[in-house]
Amino acid sequence: MSITLAEKIAGYGSLKFEDLPDAVVREVKRRLIDSFACALGAYGAPPAKAALSVAPSIKDGPSSAIIGGGATSPEYAAFINGILIRYLDFNDTYLSKEPAHPSDNIAAALSAAEAAGRNGKELVTAIVAAYELQCRLCDAASLRARGWDHVTYGAFSATLAASMLMGLSKEETVHALGMAGTTSPALRQTRAGELSMWKGAAFAHASKEAVFAAMLAKNGMTGPSPIFEGEFGFMKLVSGPFELEPLARGRHDHFRILDTYIKYFPVEYHAQSAVGAAIEIYNEMEEGDAIEAVEVKTFRAAYEIISGAEKWRPKTRETADHSLPFVVAAALADGTVNLATFTEKLEDARILGLAEKVRVTVDDALDRLYPEAVPNRIEVKLASDRRISREIIYPKGHPKDALTDREVEEKFRALSGWLFSGESMERALDALWNIEKASDIRGLLRWE
């Protein structure tokens, strides 16, 4: 009998730290710094508060820390930390047949590693494995095209990471993948129409179920199999048939984490280059210039995902940071887009008035560049009849215009200043840059 895909994925759990190229290890450190920055910047956010209010208190048994303070059961820690990492829409991205935010996997990895008392090398290796699996699944088949949300793939990658860190056997990992995969399909409605807080909680839920499935499998629970190829399995009902490319295993292989993008602006990734182009136009405008019309030329995925009718007058934070017309208007009005754009300026008449002047269309030439590039072109017509246009193909943070280590640190400093300052800031960054030296990762989350 041929080996199943779940068995192949479970076998990938044998990946070792020594297998990883130095560049891959460094990218994990950069993603950890970026993810902690995003989480600390979102501390106290409404959906995280809601999740925290139902998280159990733990007196006995395994527990895992909540980023920013406190602890709860491992699966709930994965849920809360997942919300924190994702809430600001500022964590990293991968674009392929299916777009994704692979750093979402980090919440499950942190929770499982702490509960199992794992070291830094083991944490890094599990994160690499999760990135590799989720990105390769995104390469294999589109879920969005079939009405499913991208977090559906994340259930498998987060479960793999949790299973590796909790010390599951290959057989136990197959069972965990079966349980998580059976319960994972998530509706794309999460990202359609006016968006809710669940937009930032959907993968966190997958992480919670991934850690729970790994814990159950470790304690003898069996799961449905074959989860991918079965009569009512994943390929039949969710993804359609696909072939998974070989997962990178050695120091000379190309790992997919190297192809992921750290965000420079807190907006949906397809809008990153549009914001950058709009800021360049703002800097060229003269005082007193009045904007008469704004033309945004974009690619089809951006048009479909962040240009729906409700995006011109968003009513929620989640809709605003997924609105191409709103973020372009904000950049043209203020010369920047930052976290305050979505809290203090959601009803700003200047921005909303400009958004009404934005027209978005698909440009076939730009569409052909996607997903290798993420292009947007903006042309502004001023009342004086002068026109200013800018085009950006690779936004800041893309592998072809990557953030420097210093810029990643600056993002961490900016978002975590409420918790760290002075020496404590330097200690936190030093711990993340040297995570592979940690004998127990608990100190990474339980700061003093």
The pLDDT, as a whole number, for residue 447 is: 60
164 within 8 A of 126, measured Cβ to Cβ: yes
Confidence of residue 58 (pLDDT cuts 50, 70, 90): confident
CB 161, CB 108: distance < 8 Å: yes
Domains in the chain (CATH in brackets) are 5-262+430-445 (1.10.4100.10), 269-394 (3.30.1330.120)
The pLDDT tens digits for 252-301 are 999 999 999 999 999 999 999 999 999 999 999 998 899 999 999 999 99
Q: How confident is the model at residue 57 (pLDDT cuts 50, 70, 90)?
A: confident
360-374 per-residue burial string, b: 16 or more CB within 10 A, e: under 16: beebeebbeebbebb
Mean pLDDT of 404-429: 95
Gap between the Cα atoms of 262 and 119, Å rounded = 25
What pLDDT was estimated at residue 448?
52
Q: What is the pLDDT of residues 353-389, one digit of tens each?
A: 999 999 999 999 999 999 999 999 999 999 999 999 9
Euclidean distance between CA atoms 359 and 311, whole angstroms: 12
Measure CA 213 to chain center: 22
Q: What residues form DSSP beta bridges with 100?
A: 94
CA distance 52 to 364: 46
Q: Could you please report the per-residue DSSP string of 146-215? A: GTB-THHHHHHHHHHHHHHHTT--HHHHHHHHHHHHHH---BGGGGSSS--GGGGTHHHHHHHHHHHHHH
Q: What is the pLDDT of residue 100?
A: 97
* CB atoms near residue 17 (< 10 Å): 16
- Amino acid sitting at position 124: V
Least confident stretch, 8-17, 52-61, 199-208: 52-61
